[in-house]
């Protein structure tokens, strides 16, 4: 597995956690605005239009930045946004760093428990099979160490917490 040791020479870089924070802050800011147009953003009754906005924000703020990093240009795609996927062997993903090497905690979505988007939902997948066992809700403040795992058809995984997008 490759790590941040092999970084491109780009003038700017971003912590993955910071990109996710920008995404989260955007959702929090836009929620009340789109409600004025009748688009509910609340988890239990989110309007399809809101889900499309959330997906576009995630794609443009997070996944496009990862894809623009030369280390991930040929990586397998991320799973469909905000879907609970049963198996992940054909995907790259964002994961919560774990001490337990037998599992992968794969980011699925942000979620509101008490305050807007104060938690994240992760798929708890077996490291060997990449089969999702269950979903786990983690408070946002506890999801500090997130990494992108770029997976490739024939090459070793690339794991990084800092992204160097090159345009």
Is residue 4 a part of any domain in this protein? no
Is residue 111 a part of any domain in this protein? yes
Residue 1 pLDDT: 53
> Mean pLDDT in runs of 10 for the chain (167 residues)?
54 94 98 94 89 96 96 96 94 94 96 96 96 97 96 96 92
**Considering the entire predicted model, what is its pTM?**
0.91
Is residue 5 a part of any domain in this protein? no
Is residue 30 a part of any domain in this protein? yes
To 10 degrees, what angle do helices 48-58 and 16-35 make? 150
Is residue 27 a part of any domain in this protein? yes
Residue 11 pLDDT: 73
d(CA 157, CA 152): 6
Is residue 121 a part of any domain in this protein? yes
CA within 13 Å, CB half, 33: 6
126's CB contacts (< 8 A; 6+ apart) are 102, 103, 104, 133
Residue 47 pLDDT: 92
| Boundaries of domain holding 61 | 14-163
Give how many domains the chain has, as a whole number.
Answer: 1
Is residue 2 a part of any domain in this protein? no
Is residue 67 a part of any domain in this protein? yes
């Amino acid at each position: 597995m490759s790590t941040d040791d092999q970084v491109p020479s780009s003038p700017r870089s971003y912590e993955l956690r910071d990109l996710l924070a920008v995404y989260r802050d955007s959702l929090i800011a836009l929620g009340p605005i789109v409600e004025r147009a009748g688009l509910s953003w609340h988890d239990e009754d989110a309007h399809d239009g809101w889900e499309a906005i959330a997906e576009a924000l995630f794609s443009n703020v997070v996944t496009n930045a990862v894809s623009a990093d030369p280390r991930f240009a040929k990586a397998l795609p991320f799973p469909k946004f905000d879907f609970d996927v049963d198996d992940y062997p054909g995907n790259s993903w964002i994961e919560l760093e774990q001490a337990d090497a037998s599992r992968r905690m794969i980011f699925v979505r942000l979620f509101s428990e008490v305050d807007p988007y104060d938690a994240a939902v992760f798929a708890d997948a077996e490291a060997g099979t990449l089969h999702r066992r269950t979903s786990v809700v983690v408070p946002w403040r506890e999801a500090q160490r997130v990494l992108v795992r770029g997976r490739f058809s024939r090459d070793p995984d690339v794991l990084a917490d800092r992204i160097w997008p090159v345009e």
